[in-house]
Amino acid sequence: MAAIHLVIAGGGKVGAFLANKLAGKNTIVIIEKDPTVCKELSKTTKSLVIQGDACDYRYQEEARVDRCDVFAAVTSDDDDNLVACQLAKTAFSAGRAVARVNNPKNERIFNLMGIDAISSTTIIGHLIEERATIGDILTLHVMKSGQVEIVEIDIPETGCRSCNRQLRSLGLPEGCVLVSIIRGDDVVIPRGSDMILPGDSIIAVTSTENEAELKRALAE
């Protein structure tokens, strides 16, 4: 794959994960408000780090969003991600805008604005790295008249009943498939013998009717 110029809005865990995952021949710029986070990013990533608000024109201009192939807004605030992506697309004609959506209910709004929106960090990384289209992923959300969904489930740091048990013993609802386990900077493709640990994030495909039951089985 040819090298790309990627600008990331937000230097938290998600932004740092993407920057490190896509480091190498790619040119990566991170825009982050918090000076302490910026200082840490300058030590732990090979990215150019700009301290500022990614919703502000001047900082996107400094990051050369006009030259970027992909603009990824991955802060923990959906409103900020939407504004930053809109600015990148309208003011700088960014090649592509991808956003982390913290509330899945907001995905439709992002997509209507022409922004690729998804709640899975791992999938965002794949979309950028492979230049894949989001179509196949969104199809999972609407196939069979919206009866299948991709969900992200955060396991409490304090633990829960599913923790430290083999996946095959959890008795997950019918129609639910665990796709990946995000553990810090690592991504685990789950097998029956793997275990869920406190603080993990689980990416799963589930029938809509079993979504609540799946969340109860994993996170309570």
Q: How many CB atoms lie within 10 A of CB 148?
A: 17
Query: Are 80 and 180 contained in the same domain?
Result: no
Q: Identify which has the larger pLDDT, 112 or 44.
A: 44
Confidence of residue 119 (pLDDT cuts 50, 70, 90): low
Q: Do strands 186-188 and 148-154 pair parallel, antiparallel, or not at all (unpaired)?
A: unpaired
171-208 per-position pLDDT tens digit: 888 878 787 788 876 778 788 888 999 988 887 777 77
In a domain, 139, yes or no: no
pLDDT at 128 over 70: no
Residue 140 covered by a domain: no
How far lies 93's CA from each of 64, 67, 87, in Å? 11, 9, 9
**pTM, rounded to two decimals:** 0.59
Query: Structurally, how many domains does the chain consist of?
Result: 2
- Contact of 19 with 41, CB cutoff 8 Å: yes
User: Would you give the distance in Å from CA 200 to the centre of its chain?
Assistant: 14
Residue 40's pLDDT is what?
A: 93
The answer to whether residues 47 and 104 belong to one domain is yes
Name the amino acid, one letter, at 170: L
Comparison of pLDDT for 121 and 47, the residue scoring more? 47
User: Is-contact 10 79, C-beta < 8 A?
Assistant: no
Q: Give the range of the structural domain holding residue 165, as residue numbers without chain letter.
A: 147-219
pLDDT score, position 143: 39
pLDDT at 26: 85
Q: What is the pLDDT of residue 214?
A: 85
Find the helix or strand (DSSP H, E) in which 213 lies.
helix 211-219
Statement to judge: residues 117 and 151 lie in one domain = no
Assigned domain for 41 exists: yes
197 is a domain residue:
yes
Q: What is the pLDDT of residue 35?
A: 95
- Could you tell me the CA-to-CA distances from 15 to 20, 45, 55, 123, 154 in Å, in that order? 9, 10, 16, 13, 18
